[in-house]
Structure 1
Amino acid sequence: MRFGILGPLDVRTPDGTPLDPGGPRPRALLTLLLLDAGRTVPVARLTDGLYGDEPPAGAANALQSQVSRLRKRLGLDIGAVPTGYCLTVSPEDVDLHRFERLAREGRRLLGSGDHARAAALLREALGLWRGPALAELPDAAPLVARLEELRLAAVQDRVDADLAMGGGPDLVPELRELISGQPLSERLYGQLMRALHAGGRPAEALTVYEEARRALSDALGADPSAELSALHLELLRGQEPARQRGVPAQVTRFIGRADELARIGALLADARLVTLTGPGGAGKTRLAVEAARGLPDVCFVELAPLADGAQVPYAILTALGVRDGLHAPGGDATERLLSALHGRELLLVLDNCEHLVDAAAAVTGLLLGDCPGVRVLATSREGLGITGEALWPVPPLAAEPAARLFADRAAAVRPDAAGLRAARARRLTDEICAALDGLPLAIELAAARLRTLTLDELAARLGDRFRLLSRGDRTKAPRHRTLHAVVEWSWELLDDEERDLARRLTVFPSGATLDAVEAVCGIPYPEDLLASLVEKSFLDVTDGRYGMLRTIHAFCARQLAAAGEEERLRDAHAAYFLRLAEHAEPMLRGGDQLPWLAGLAAESGNLDGALRHLTRTDPHGGLRLLAALSWFWRLRGLYGERRARALELLDAVGAEPPEGLFEEYVLCVINTIAGDGDDPAEPERLARADRLVAALKGPLRLPHLVVQWSVAGGPDHSMTELVRAQVGAHPWGVALLDLGLGFQEQFAGRPDAAEAAFAGALAGFRETGDRWGMANCLDPLGMFADWRGERDRALALLDEGLVHVRDLAAPEETADLLHQRATVLLHRGDFEEAAAHYTRATDLARTAGVPDKVATARRGLGDAARLSGDTARARAHYEAALETYAANWFSLGQSVRTLVGLGRTALAESRPEEAADWVEQARVLASDTGELAEVAEALAAVATDPEEAARLLGAAHGLRGTLIAGDPDVVRVEAATRARLSPEAYEKAFEQGRSLRSAAVRER
């Protein structure tokens, strides 16, 4: 339906048929609802609008009745809520709201210089008026007056558009009629003067000024405004009327920044001074231009060319189009400026204030204080520092709009830019944009180099970005033409102390805390200097950490190298972070894990840089740092980082452990072991680590070494009398000992003893508050509950463990627990949910860089697919898992389980011979009791002799200590075997297998 309230109420169906809302009361009610179409109108506002200040008794009930009749009469959707009523229609179906939208858009186009489209939209908006607005509402005079003001503003905007397109004589009658109704509107007088001048009637234009002067004097006792007086003076001199400088037109598309534009618009609605801050090249000017483009009466002032703060008011006067002669030539420019803006409503855009920030602030403060209709949008590398200023730091472009900007600008310089959308090119584009900090200027300069470079060549040369990006737009000021010039311009605005600190800060690869800055940079009490650098957009600060964009970092690093301080500062940097890591190391094994893990994670770049420096200059210090970080790496799954660093450091240290650093040396060797089978020297390092660990007497200063070695070397190394001495009597060490004992008992097929050991370890880790330890106990405890068929308890234990590992942000342990939880769900028959868990475990393991765990999760997906009947998908998952497994102790057992899965898949597809072959491969490969138990159950599934199947099920029970209650694979085999044997024969064969255990599998 269509609704008109800009005139008598008009309601029409989509085909144009008019509808009658009824008498005066329903017509007034519908008008009130249409004023807020699509929004809830409070009951009080409706009753006031219908009945005035003295509504009758029972007005609320009467209103409800009126709404009900209106619904039925017109078929309207009028919703009722406790606070009021809402008419569900689109604002576009109401002429008032369409008028406001079209008028806004027309004003925006007028400001951007698109006069023809502006005129068309404004005419369409004004054409919606059919008479006096809100004709059905009594006592609506204030609202009607506001709408008439909007209508008049739209008419004046349309006149401005017509004048800009060369209109003149044809506008004169209309303008004279408008002035007769608005005899104090200086804007209308000015438009009439321009129209007469354009029509070749300058004398009449001058007469209009005199009419305006008399009208203002008689009614208000005031003189014409500075703007109207300036127009009069220009016409007296026979000059073309000067125009104020609107926002400059742009030759390239504006990309991204929608959220920033919305936020700036909201700030401008609430604050009279909004300053966009940020480093050079962040796009402050373009953002200000776009934010101001759609606003009425905007004046753009470029301050970058000015060399003296005294020139600021003159620059604003020039941009306003105010020429000498308004007052006596040579008069005070600030007074002239205040006079020119007095009484005006205008947005002043002051661009590039940073080099004249004091003068810009002084002038802005005067304007805001003396001219209440003036608002200011400033761009600067630091705020103006005026009370009430709303600061908006312009952030770098996010990855997606940065890539779009790069592609857009690249399309202008090379014909094959469409190739940038290919997957590899997109990856390179993302890397280039990230390396350039998402700075629009840097991205545009880089895209321009594609005229002569390939994308690969461009990416490879970004290490020397200032030389590479040294050719820019010739129309820009020199300081804005190249990346180096932009940053150098900011550098020159710093004082000596700020430059000194800025270049020293580049010793931090990943930002720094206040403590680190003070300790490393050698500047006492650096708070004020840091704050100043933040204010000048040379630094950013987040949660107490100070950082630099890489582009600024690269520039300042050159300054540091030129100053000759680099090596001394790197020594201080490495010493500070070595102290930090050694202090943090014991904290990672107790209740303070989380804050210390977060702290080390925040310093990862600094710690890595310190380790590289120490490896080169002080390998013994490097050993200490690597050892202090080893447990952190283990908890966070940072495998790729630790191995490369450890190999480099081991070469630097040499073949023998340094005195006093034996444990540190052993940890370094352990960290070189990846277990992926790709390094032919790894078996020798593994044997060497075994010998070194055996020589450690204990108690260890770094007891987590035992865990690191157990993971790298395998379960045979996890529990010996030597380990008891190595972990010592500390509660964490005792709990770790129980954890190892639990695994030993589990591998030996003694689940009750294993469960008791894990429970003891859990109690010990709870005492210390170590979340890693608790999670690693809850994992097997959940498994034992699952074996007994206690699925709900198993899930509860695993869920508690997941809370701990998620707190730790430990991806590998999280993947393990998700895998274990998925297995419980499989046993419960929730195949779809289990598959979702395995998928999440796959993603986490891949993120952590642990291919074994990726393959394990793929095997789980194979189990889920097979048990749900999708054998083709199961086979694909199993085969993918086998391809991924690395050649280490852990992957051996998982390979066995995957071969078993392939055997069960072949059996489900009625290929018993193939199934037997897969299971036989698993039997040959199996080593520990857990693997043999699963192989025994699989062999029972492919056995043709029921007594042999019963013996193999018994062997599985003896090896594991139990059969898994409700395991769908075992339940089917057990039921089929029992159906073919008498109870006595089954029990006899089962007991034979349970006593033989591995022999029943090996000697088969």
Structure 2
Amino acid sequence: MRFGILGETRAWRDDGTEVPLGGPARRALLALLLIRPGQVVPSDRLAGDIDPDGLLSAHALQSQVSRLRAALGAAAAIERTGAGYRIVAADDDVDARRFERLAGQGREALRDGEAERAVALLREALDLWRGPALAELTESGTARAAAMRLEELRLAALEDRIEGELRLGGHRAAVAELRELVGCHPLRERPAGLLMRALSAEGGQAEALVVFEETRRRLAEELGADPSAELVALHHELLSADPSPSPAAPPAPLTSFVGRDEEVDEVVGLLRVARLVTLLGPGGVGKTRLSAEVAAAEAGEVCFVELAALGDGAGLPRAVLGALGLRERGLQVGDGPRTPVDRLIAALSDRVLLLVLDNCEHVVEDAAALAARLLATCPRLRVLTTSREPLGVIGEHLHQVRPLGGDAAVRLFTDRARAVRRGFAADPRRVRRICAALDDLPLAIELAAARLRTLDLGELEGRLNDRLGVAARGSRPADSRHRTLRSVVAWSWDLLSEPEQRAARRFTVFAASATAESARRVCGTDAETLDSLVDKSLLEVSRGRYRMLETIRAYGAERLDEAGESDSARHAHARHVLELVRTADPHLRRSGQLEWLPIVAAEHENLLSAVRWAVDAPDVATALELLASAAAYLWIRGVSAAAAPYAIRLLGALGDTPPDGLGEEYATCVLLAASDRETWRRHRPAAEKALAAAWPGDRAGRCPAVLLLWMMRNAGGGNAARAAFTFLSAQHDCPEPWARAVARYVSGFGALGDRDVAQAERDFGAAAEEFRVLGDRWGTALALDMLAGLAGGRGDHARAIALTDEALTLTGLLGAREDAADLLINRGDYLVAADDVEAARADYAKAADLARRAGSTTCLGAALRGLGDIALGEGDLDEAERLYAEAVERIAPHWIRSLGHRVRTLAGLGRVAEARGDHATARARYREAAEAAAVGGIPVPDTLRLLGLSGALSVALTEAVSRR
């Protein structure tokens, strides 16, 4: 007989029939005996557990035992022994005992590395559970303890099974189950660790770090405990993994690839001998699809850049930076006034990569200039472009993309026809005539085939012949093929209903793609109409977003102008984007930060397009509101420079008087335009007054992000910095919590200026906590970095390292790779001070690699400085000198955030010279370090403390300061 207590208590005969056990008292009695089969359970315990009220007498208990014996029959014996009873049953006849055996064997197999066997055993064990263990005995103390033990074993077995599945590669399937498990058991660390591993294996390192952060916080808040050593080690492992951003992949194919396999091989072969290849051909011939297939066939790293959405060539370098996954600037650091092209060169100078620039024809001159510059400065780079005309760059190899061959065209038509008409079959000769009439252009063929949903083949052929005026054509020049394609697009358009035409022409205002909701609202349509446009190949759906091929977009834009709807459609688009960024803005400063950043990032090109239209319209209010509402996104994501040209143009048209009621928005615009010195000089005073009026300290304004951005912009010193500090410090009592956190952060700098380190630490600590409560990783990381610096300055290296670890986690979540490099350098400095040289070497080396890939020359220089310090400490003067010399060439000399690294690098060269006995050179280097410190306003005592030097450097510092 078999027994079950993992769920409702039940018994089955060997033939599988169930034994009727009777009422709840009898089931409870059997369950209590089965907890430990073969062991005696005292009568008084049985009575007390069956009836906690104490009403079950010894006689009543004996009666229940007799009835249970009768129900079980001879198959199972219940014996009276001494003062109690026991059931005679083999362990494997009880599901709970069998579960324990299988779970233990599974755990041993997992420990021995036999993941497949472990998973099979653990699944068999877990399948025995039918519900909560000992379900009838919830009031029983004995049963409650046994049930808790079994539930703990079940959870452990479940975790073991999932770990085994992860070892077998089942990461994706495990994520949902682990999320549910973590949600049900938020204080249990092992599921959190398994979820972190599963997410990381699927490329979700940032999500994995979020899980750690949330688990750490829950443990601290609810238990007052830190994460276990195992979870902390996993966290460090994730932080140590390569966080380099992944370049943009080619667009996912929506349909099969027909007829160009040999051409793919030909272009791949050409790229082995040529560094610049252009796929040349008219619209609709298949250049983009061919380039995507070539990219997919590449064995090495590829970055695919779609240029169709660019309004002009000025944004081309930023588009490439974005596709490479690189920020234009860090959250708090940067390389000074470097251009996006400089950043690209730094990022690609040593990188083996195929860069694909798709749809170059409307920015061909800028594409040619950028390709020539990158190829000249990045020797391991190759470039593949698609265009309707050559770039005209020396060394360019042209590959003419021609229409499909006859048989391939027939296959394409048949393939697409079967997608809309099940079982489509036709005489290949008739299909061939249709394809020939379409000049064998892939896009024309796809548009025609899509019409077979509502037309039969004869109707399709007749209508095409009428439209094109010819039944068959031979090979013809590209301009004629363009006219053919335009005619087919126009024919497809004319067959649309009026609601479909209106939706299609209004969709052309989207810069690249749109969500379903955005498309419905801006186009004034419904889901059914959009789906109909997809069915007719006028729209595509890729990665959950609607998009339109450029040939169709160009035709639709003409129809939009003809209908007189261009301004109204673009106004609707701009207002919709404004509504989106307004909705996102508060979330970007709170716990929804990680959820909303990718949502807004997906609309980046639409945002810039909306701003461009509003500036050109001009619709001043919409333009200012767009820039202000998007400010937090632009800064956190490191793409604020993309909006600068529009901000500069807008201010040029506005003058230096803020529009009524838009003072904060005006100030934000001034900040975004600050890269232009004349614009900044002219507009800063008015912007400062507008901000002071909007944020008097006792009430909140509309644009909190501008407060912190204003301080960071003015961090270089002078009147603007003092005004920013005074203004921001007044926000301590502001009702807006994020503004109060900013005020705490800014007050820390005031305390530092007064040399009150203790107060500065209190202010930065309060800011970090307030940012953390709000869920703002950006602000928290800024405050933690300052706290780490203060801890390191007073010699508490362990705390400095711990704080930097947390800041690294947060910047990793935000994708701030340059900031990660900066923080790794800081941690390396703390580790050196703590005498952990090997760990510091690893941090400096990793920071250098990150900085190279991110194109941050100053961060790279700072990392090399750290490695130079280690080489000098180990007595390798030649290596130290090489590293210092390379570092000093890379560190920006006039950038405030790089000043300390530059001073330390120059002093390092002085130390090398002094160690060699070259006192004249040492003195000259020390003087350079002292002058750099003096120019940056670093006091002499602080510089001496920074460098740990005296003597020659002290004299040099004194001389430098006296000369100033």
**TM-score, normalised to structure 1's length?**
0.47
Structure of larger gyration radius:
1
